[in-house]
Chains A and B, each alone.
Chain A
């Protein structure tokens, strides 16, 4: 059912086509990108810290939320069925999609049935994960992103670089240029954010009023009631959820919550962790269809796409608790310097480093390099509202993942050497003897080796290597205390 798909997986926007170290190296050369990112992540970090400090029982909240999500992961099939029953009873049509291709086919068919060639979209990670816009384009349907940041990225023919603020890598000057080039009717010559947002408002309002089909995701889906929850700021979500006749929601099964009452905790955790606000401007909660209010047809596509397989991994499954708040991105020293594109996936940052390789399987593209995109400093774990131990999962994935041949050979040799005391001491002696001349050469860099010859070059491309000490501890001991 949910097998890895090496061939087709290549096209999925959660597959890195470049090894992370190489993508990161080129991102690091872009100083404007780094300045934009640094400023943005610092701002959100500070806002988040302030509003989290306001909540006295934050830690208990995190524990409770983690437990609720683990319960969801334990009981996925049962809760999926319960949600489907409740939503259907409320007038929705529920579809089940095992993978991206199946979900895209269902949505494309539903759009075709309405006879439109243009749909409006609420920002949704699930639809990005499956490459829905591209699939619709192949069927002759234009999907218009209506979240301001997504619109910027779409007009720039770019891909998002952050879960929450996808255009975080652009400054206002760049955004004005993009609008001037690509937005119909754009005339403003100012790069004031209010002017730019106003231009997007005018452009999109015409689009909303004409739209007959909208596509959205959901931040939460409540099994007990069949309700969907969409959290946003701009009102573009509300436009899409209420104006068109037909609404199609694509929802990853891990978004389920068992009870409506669970929303109490999660709606406290999400905005504070995500935008650093006590509450986001708009939250819509709706169940099925309501006569006279909003769409007449609601379709919910429940997406698996590897999630049940992840749920079966005792360590990796905690990644499914993620509520996509993006707090872990904003504290990550690696993300802050390289930005989202280096991860080659719509899920960047620490969560992306554990989610993408698990969703696709580590043999897809270069996703096996993502678990190494971390310093394991643990900052992501500290901020995660559902307490995902991201560093532990990174290590777990590194252990499971494929190893380069040189590393496997080196480890095998090391194991053989260390099994025998005499072999080990001989090896150390050789290393010291070899290190002595190098010490003179590397004095300039504090006695550290910057570039070693192959095969050791694989190690020193990304870090300096210390030289072995002149004298071993044993030798030092017997020289000073021994005889």
Chain B
């Protein structure tokens, strides 16, 4: 089951113009360092696994205290995990838990990199709704970068949220 779901998730998230990559846990620090190389700083929510950031070049900032104005600094990127992900729709689900932080962390900076473990992927939205550990936490579902189609229905990425979304998928443990 799980490998199929990861493959479908990767395709569907890619359909939304998210950058999707697969790697092993051993390759993760290098891949994250590459994806985040151009950032002026990388915001890390509380609970980010220390081994994700061992190779990062840009300075890291704690997501706990930053204000919206500080998060608006040019070139800032944010690195998070997620609570769950949905294969059918290529959706990430964040619930403010470990490695996810406050909602504005993944909203104000222009680049969001998210790590997804294969075990976190469910088949479709109804499975997600059932799998959520606590539905009363603040939940954010993200399908691709921010986008608008308001001008002649042309899709334009990045109106207010991050213009760039990169997803890194880890294989089943």
Contacts and interface: CB of A to CB of B under 8 A. Distances in A.
A238 B140 contact: yes
Contacts of A293: 96, 102-103, 138
Contacts, number: 169
B151 A278 contact: no
Contact of A208 (B91, B130, B141, B160): B160
Nearest to A204: B160
A283 B140 contact: yes
B109 to A, nearest CB: 12
A39 B149 CA distance: 13
A268 interface: yes
B103 A238 contact: yes
A36 B153 CA distance: 10
Contacts of A477: none
A260 interface: yes
Contacts of A280: 143
B68 A264 contact: no
B58 to A, nearest CB: 22
B135 A260 contact: yes
A188 to B, nearest CB: 13
Interface stretch (A26-34, A165-173, A299-307, A347-355): A165-173
A334 interface: no
Given A279-B90, A281-B147, A283-B140, A209 B72 contact: yes
Interface stretch (B24-32, B33-41, B48-56, B121-129): B121-129
A241 B141 CA distance: 14
B136 A225 contact: yes
A227 B136 contact: yes
B118 interface: no
B98 interface: no
Interface in B116-162: 124-130, 135-154, 156, 158-161
Given A234-B147, A287-B136, A290-B138, A201 B158 contact: yes
A236 B148 CA distance: 10
Dominant SS at the B interface? loop
A239 interface: yes
A238 B107 contact: yes
Contact of B159 (A200, A241, A260, A263): A200
A193 B154 CA distance: 7
B160 A43 contact: no
Interface string A79-104: 00000000000100000000000000
A214 B91 CA distance: 26
Contact of A238 (B152, B158, B161): B161
A384 interface: no
Contacts of A208: 68, 160
A226 B146 CA distance: 27
A278 B104 contact: no
A127 interface: no
A209 B152 CA distance: 28
Given A225-B135, A234-B160, A268-B126, A279 B86 contact: yes
A457 interface: no
B160 A281 contact: no
A201 B159 contact: yes
Given A193-B151, A234-B148, A264 B138 contact: no
Contact of A234 (B72, B125, B127, B159): B159
Contacts of B111: none
B6 interface: no
B143 A235 contact: no
A201 B160 contact: yes
Contacts of A329: none
Interface of B: 12, 15-16, 68-69, 72, 86, 88-91, 96, 102-104, 107, 124-130, 135-154, 156, 158-161
24 contacts: A39-B153, A148-B148, A152-B150, A209-B72, A222-B135, A226-B136, A234-B160, A238-B160, A263-B125, A263-B129, A267-B129, A268-B126, A279-B125, A281-B146, A281-B161, A283-B140, A283-B141, A284-B138, A284-B140, A285-B139, A285-B140, A287-B135, A290-B137, A293-B96
Interface of A: 36, 39-40, 43-44, 90, 146-149, 152, 165, 167, 171-172, 175, 193-194, 196-197, 200-201, 204-205, 208-209, 222, 225-227, 233-236, 238-239, 241-243, 260-261, 263-265, 267-268, 275, 277-288, 290, 292-294
